[in-house]
Structure 1
Amino acid sequence: MTSEPAENKGTLDSETRLLAAIAYGEASTADVFEEMAALASIVLRQSKARGYSSLASFTGNEKSFSFVVSDGNKRYKRLMGATAAQLEKSAAMTDAIKAARNAFSGGTDYSNGAYFWDGADIKTKYETHFKVRHGIRFTNPSHYIYSIRESTKLIIKKKTTKAKVDGKIVTNTKELYRYDHIYESTAALGGTIFWKQSDDYMKFTGAKAYR
């Protein structure tokens, strides 16, 4: 990546530093700029979708969204406490800052509209993983970075009505909708798979894209 001028690297407002630190902490140690940029875009998108005026209030009130803020993540803490000189010497942290600025400026969304992500734990905890248990589908072969299989959970919603016909009660059951997965991959970068909820799931259930 093209390096930023030294004076820009040291000029960080608190929101940019926070977003950069989250992206850096959540990303794999491969230090892929596009992966960090995708993560930054999602965090900012989630914050806005949930009605927060700042990332600080978002991360302070919804601690489970990004655990790196509170679980002692070393990469997150490293960037949050880095001096201008330390940032300048680290290509990875410099890219994390660029990733945050890309998100704030409405730049390229490398996540392709995702609202969620997963790292290696989706493979190591496959059988009990929340998304796996609710159904995952890969939309592109390049998203199979962990060689895990798709999963399904068929949900069928029916409506039963009763009517009197020729003096008898007739029961009629009609299928309203069905879906067999909730999460669909949108990208895979570095060590992260990015997801959105399926259109059918949201249409039929009225679910919000960010929940």
Structure 2
Amino acid sequence: MTSSNPSDTQLPASAPAAAQPIDAQTKQLAAMAYGEASLQDNSDEMMAIASVLVRQRDSRGYSNMATFTKNDPTFSFVIGDGNARYNKMMKATADQIGKDPAMQAAIAAARNALAGGPDKSNGAYFWDGADIKSNYDNHFKVRHGIKITDPSHNIYDIKDSTKLVILYKIVKTKDKKTKKVKTEKVETGRYDHVYDSTAGIGGTIFWKYNQQYLDVTGGSEYR
């Protein structure tokens, strides 16, 4: 597991990621990963975010990042919320990117994800930054239930928020002799949290849905 200590971050020393032409999809994905990542400029963190973005793109049936972000703009807010890092990278020339180690790392992260390379997020579909600690009590995921599955993921030293949820259905049966209808509440399943952590890298915790929650609710992995 990569350390969350910025001093341990390994960024490219030269410019191999920017040496070849940067196509529009690669640049947009890289800018999104760069904008969503913490200010630590951790290359593994950007790789993980890029992998999640591509996984979400594919799961939602889009062939490219531009179509994905146009039709699902709320998945990554950096495009429309004035994120300075995203805008900086989108406006950067190839030469400027080639001189910036963090941007080079973002380009490498995008290329890795688009090529189906190593997934540092360990199969995640979602992520959170520092706000999950600063806004813990009101955080959407916390309120719905989170579980840190490995201590190394807990970069913000937060606690689990588990609470048992039991789902029921109403079953009606009719007595053949008396014709009376009996109503009974039958349990269909239970779970105690919605999100499992998959990694903690740099300033980001990565998540996927708890399998028991998916089994009980019949939900999809990516929504």
Q: Does structure 2 retain, via aligned residues, the 8 Å contact 1:10–1:88?
A: no
Structure 1 residue matching 2:167: 3-state secondary structure? strand
RMSD between aligned residues? 1.8
Alignment of 1:133-144 (within 5 A): 133-144=143-154
Q: Which residue of 2 aligns with 1:158?
A: 168
CA pair 32-15 structure 1, distance change in 2 beyond 3 A:
same
CA deviation after TM superposition for structure 1 residue 125, in Å: 1.2
Q: C-alpha deviations, 1:21-51, integer Å up to 9, x for none?
A: 0000000011111100000001111011111
Q: Does 1:195 align with 2:201?
A: no
| 1:62 maps to which of 42, 67, 72 | 72
Q: Is the 8 A contact 2:197 2:206 kept in 1?
A: yes
- The SS at the match of 2:197 is strand
Gaps of 5+ in 2: 1-10
| Partner SS state of residue 104, structure 2 | helix
Structure 1 length-normalised TM = 0.93
Residues 52-111 of structure 1 show CA distances to partners (whole Å, capped at 9, x for unaligned) of 121001111211111111111111111111112211111000000000000011110000
Range moving further from structure 2, 82-91 or 112-121: 82-91
Alignment of 1:10-89 (within 5 A): 11-89=21-99
Among 173, 198, 206, the alignment partner of 1:186 is: 198
Asked if the contact 1:133/1:153 (under 8 Å) is kept, the reply is no
Whether 1:115 and 2:125 are equivalent positions in the alignment is yes
Distance 1:43 1:130 in 2: 20
Give the 3 Å change call, closer, same or farther, for CA 138–131 of structure 1 in structure 2: same
From the superposition, tell whether residues 209 and 28 of structure 1 become closer, same or farther in structure 2 (CA, over 3 Å).
Answer: same
- Is structure 2 residue 185 aligned with structure 1 residue 173? yes
2:112 maps to which of 94, 99, 102: 102
Instruction: Note if contact 2:18-2:94 (Cα within 8 Å) is conserved in structure 1.
Output: no
- Aligned partner letter, 2:154: Y
Secondary structure at 1:52 match in 2: coil
Q: State the AA in 2 paired with 1:43.
A: L
Is the 8 Å Cα contact of residues 202 and 209 (structure 1) preserved in structure 2? yes
- The question of whether the paired residues in 1 share the 8 Å contact of 2:171 and 2:185 is answered with yes
> Which deviates more from structure 2 when the two are superposed, residues 71-80 or residues 185-194?
71-80
Once the 2 structures are TM-superposed, how far is the Cα of residue 159 of structure 1 from its aligned partner?
3.1
User: 2:22 aligns to what SS in structure 1?
Assistant: coil
Where structure 1 has 5 or more consecutive residues not aligned to the other structure, the ranges are: none
Percent sequence identity over matched residues? 54
**1:173, CA displacement in angstroms?**
3.4
Q: What is the rounded CA distance, in whole Å, between the counterparts of 2:176 and 2:185 in structure 1?
A: 15
Paired residues in the alignment total 211
| Mapped partners of 2:116, 2:107: distance in 1 | 14
